[in-house]
């Protein structure tokens, strides 16, 4: 059985269940992916973490794409002159901000997609494999990632320059950290103990550096890749709320009911401002 659900958060299809539409904030950026465009880093949360929850019986695979309708905002080049290492790392191709990253077909990267309700009362094994956040070329890699409460978060510095990694959680129980990382090869491990969507991480030395971390109580989450595609595997049959979060365009939700041995395809659409 195959269920196809199309979600477009636009006026003509508002009745399909799009909710909490455009909103959000962050650095200003848009980008068309191509030969001369900076590409977002692959996220370790691009698929359900293997081994996080042992599924028994039939399972469901969710997949889909996130489409940005209309013209994305123009990309904003980053000014890296304040740090010679940062500037030299991008001498051939100056980077742009990562707030809005789309490919030639208008598919939107860096959207965090997860099950926001329907799993209450269920418990899942916390992964021991760390989620990874690297600093390379004075950019956070990945820009958006997911993890579970109490899963290790390994923060790396691949740059031969000083970074200061500063998290800004708002949920009580998630401790703020502020890490000075002065050398290449440095690493530090931290955890968040409570679910939170989303935790900004910024560099106090390089203000253009920002990443967002989604902390959820289960392994059923993903981050859209360069082609705007996401995939969540091993979901038990049931009725769920699937939520998509984007730093500029906000949150959308869709209620889905999936049966045994189902494949569900869900296409979210955001509307570009002014389109």
Largest Cα separation within the chain, whole Å, is 56
Q: Are 231 and 47 a contacting pair, CB within 8 Å? A: yes
Helix then strand count (H, E) for the chain reads 1, 19
Partners of 244 in beta bridges:
113, 252
Q: Report residue 47: phi and psi, to 5°.
A: -135, 165
Please count the structural domains in the chain.
Answer: 1
Helix (H, G, I), strand (E, B) or coil at 86: helix
4-62 tens-digit pLDDT: 444 433 333 333 334 444 444 333 344 444 333 334 333 343 333 433 444 567 888 99
Q: Report residue 147: phi and psi, to 5°.
A: -160, 175
Token pair for residue 248? 């500029």
167-189 tens-digit pLDDT: 999 999 999 999 999 999 999 99
CA-to-CA dists, residue 197 to 21, 24, 169, 174, 213, angstroms: 16, 12, 9, 12, 7
- CATH code where residue 183 lies: 2.60.40.420
Instruction: Please state which of the ranges 23-37, 120-134, 162-176, 200-214 shows the lowest mean pLDDT.
Output: 23-37
CA-to-CA dists, residue 256 to 16, 21, 231, angstroms: 11, 18, 15
Domain range enclosing 40: 2-121+130-271
Q: Which residue has the higher pLDDT, 32 or 111?
A: 111
Q: Band of the pLDDT at 275, cuts 50, 70, 90? A: low
């Amino acid at each position: 059985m195959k269920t196809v659900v199309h979600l477009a958060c636009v006026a003509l299809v508002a009745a399909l269940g799009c909710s909490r539409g455009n909103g959000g904030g962050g650095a200003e950026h848009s980008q068309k992916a191509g030969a001369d465009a900076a590409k977002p880093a692959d996220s370790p949360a691009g698929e359900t973490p293997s081994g996080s929850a042992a599924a028994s019986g039939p399972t469901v695979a969710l997949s889909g794409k996130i489409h940005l309708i209309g013209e994305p905002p123009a990309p904003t080049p980053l000014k890296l002159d304040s740090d010679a290492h940062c500037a030299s790392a991008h001498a051939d191709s100056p980077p742009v901000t990562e707030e809005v990253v789309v490919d030639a077909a208008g598919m939107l990267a860096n959207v965090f997609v997860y099950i926001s309700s329907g799993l209450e009362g269920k418990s899942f094994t916390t992964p021991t494999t760390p989620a990874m956040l690297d600093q390379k070329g004075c950019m956070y890699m990945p820009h958006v990632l997911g993890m579970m409460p109490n899963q290790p978060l390994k923060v790396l510095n691949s740059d031969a320059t000083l970074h200061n990694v500063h998290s800004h959680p708002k949920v009580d129980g998630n401790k703020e950290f502020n890490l000075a990382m002065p050398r290449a090869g440095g690493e530090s491990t931290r955890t968040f103990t409570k679910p939170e969507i989303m935790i900004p991480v910024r560099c106090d030395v390089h203000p253009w550096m920002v990443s967002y971390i989604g902390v959820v109580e289960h392994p059923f989450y993903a981050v859209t890749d360069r082609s705007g595609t996401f995939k969540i595997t091993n979901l038990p049959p049931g009725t769920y709320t699937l939520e998509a979060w984007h730093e500029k365009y906000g949150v959308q939700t869709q209620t889905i009911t999936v049966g045994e041995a189902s494949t569900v395809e869900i296409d979210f659409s955001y509307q570009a401002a002014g389109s």
